[in-house]
Amino acid sequence: MHDVITSNADAACSMSRWMRAAVVGGDPGADLVALDDALNALARVDPRKVRVVEMRFFGGLSVEETAMVLKVSPVTVRRDWSSAKIWLYRELTGETDDGPGSLETGR
């Protein structure tokens, strides 16, 4: 049980760190709207990545649990989780090294 709690806490802390770094303004309500907009934009490109974010960050599911629900491999969940975080960070901050929309999000 301790491992599950620790794993969920680590995932939440990791996600919180990059979300804090991606804060658009000083208003938390505006930040939530921006996050919702970014998730909706990602859903238009790759809905599975949004499902992974919802399950991992908001639902607290492990990689393995998320993989079982989505009927994909844990490696696919890790890859989706990683690229979704990068995509959302870039969307929320407007920062890119290669220009807007350069990160591949397709399957």
Q: Which residues contact 93 (CB under 8 A, 6 or more apart)?
A: 21, 22, 24
Predicted pLDDT at 60: 95
| Structural domains present in the chain | 2-93 (1.10.10.10)
Mind listing the pLDDT tens digit for each residue in 59-87? 999 999 999 999 999 999 999 999 999 99
pLDDT for res 95? 80
Nearest to 11 by CA among 78, 76, 71: 78
Low-confidence ranges of the chain (pLDDT < 70): 1-29, 96-107
Judge whether 95 and 89 are in contact, CB under 8 Å: yes
